[in-house]
Structure 1
Amino acid sequence: MPELKIEREHTLGMDGARMLAQRWREQAEQDWGMTCTSEPGETADRMRFERSGVSGALTVTDVRFDLHIKLGFLLGAYSGKIAEKINANLDELLGPVA
């Protein structure tokens, strides 16, 4: 199974990062048909998501977003385009990588 790992640093603090993760969750559920569950923690929150052919987790801390996605066989052929779309989405939410 192809995997994507996308890591982004931020300066939002934990409260800001949680707000942004919630916006990402809403978009994932509405636009991409994902089922998401959140696991809040003291120093990091984890959001698990899945739909047919895709599963993964978004880990949010006060300084980083770590996105780990597993693609099924059929979507694996599009992993480059999927990574490009996710990075564009994160750029829109966080600003481009410096």
Structure 2
Amino acid sequence: MSAIDVHRAHTLDKDHAREAAEALARDLSCQFDLNYEWEGDHLTFKRSGVKGHLNITDDDLRVHLELGMLLRPFKSKIEQEIHRQLDQILKA
């Protein structure tokens, strides 16, 4: 498996950070056909060939995805999209 790890600092309160994470999850779900589910402040992503999670802390968001062999060629595109989405939803 090929992994994507993105850590992004934020200055949002916990509720707004969760809203930002939800927006990211919704967008990625639509673009890459991912299913996601919240468990407290931990969001899990899943679909055939990819699994991962997003954690929210008081000062950062952490995204970790593991890509299967068929999605490895799209790693760069997926990672760029995560960064683009985070730039957009975390801008203050």
TM-score by length of 1: 0.84
Deviation string 1:32-52 (CA, Å, 9 cap, x unpaired) is 221111111xxxx10001112
Q: Which runs of 5+ in 2 are unaligned?
A: none
Select the structure of larger CA radius of gyration: 1
TM-score by length of 2: 0.89
CA distance, structure 2, for counterparts of residue 2 and residue 90 of structure 1: 21
Gaps of 5+ in 1: none
Taking the aligned partners of 2:74 and 2:50, their CA distance within structure 1 comes to 12
Q: Summarize the alignment of residues 9-88 of structure 1 with structure 2, pairs less than 5 Å apart.
A: 9-40=9-40, 45-88=41-84
Matches of 1:30 and 1:80 in 2, distance apart? 18
Distance in 1, matches of 2:82 and 2:21, equals 13
Q: CA RMSD in A?
A: 1.6
**Same amino acid, percent of matched pairs:** 34
CA distance in 1, matches of 2:15, 2:51: 25
